[in-house]
Amino acid sequence: MFVQQGRKVFKEVVPMVSEMILDHAAELDLDTHGLKRLWLHQANINMNTLIGKKVLGREPEPSENVIILDDYANTSSAGSIIAFHLHNDGFAPGETGLICSFGAGYSAGTVFVQKRP
């Protein structure tokens, strides 16, 4: 049986995912403070808010850090893709966003997306 210790996972995953995002952005020479939107794993609103703060360097606006938990609950790693599907409008050419999912076993992945000119 698989058992998670919620508080422990929260305290370990937030810095791990935040650092992974920042490292990936640095590899691509992207300034995360300029990201237009974050589509994060939809498991915990507090986790998403903290990751958003660390990535953007400030409190994210609701339009920047998309939350779909109230409509779809925790859909596992698919949550970030559902959020992207529902909230990918309003991008000007050259603007960048981030899709990030994470899950059991502390697996995580990021994809930066940019609207074509």
Query: Which residues of the chain are modeled with pLDDT < 50?
Result: none
In the three-class reduction of DSSP (H, G, I as helix; E, B as strand; rest coil), residue 88 is classed as coil
Residues whose CB falls within 8 Å of the CB of residue 109, separated by 6 or more in sequence, listed in order: 100, 101, 102
CB neighbour list of residue 8: distance below 8 Å, 6 or more residues apart: none
Superfamily classification of domain 7-114 = Thiolase/Chalcone synthase (3.40.47.10)
**pTM listed for this prediction:** 0.90
| Distant-in-sequence, close-in-space partners of 79: CB < 8 Å, separation ≥ 6 | 40, 41, 42, 43, 68, 69, 72, 101
* pLDDT the model gives residue 1: 64
Q: What pLDDT, on the 0 to 100 scale, is given for residue 14?
A: 94
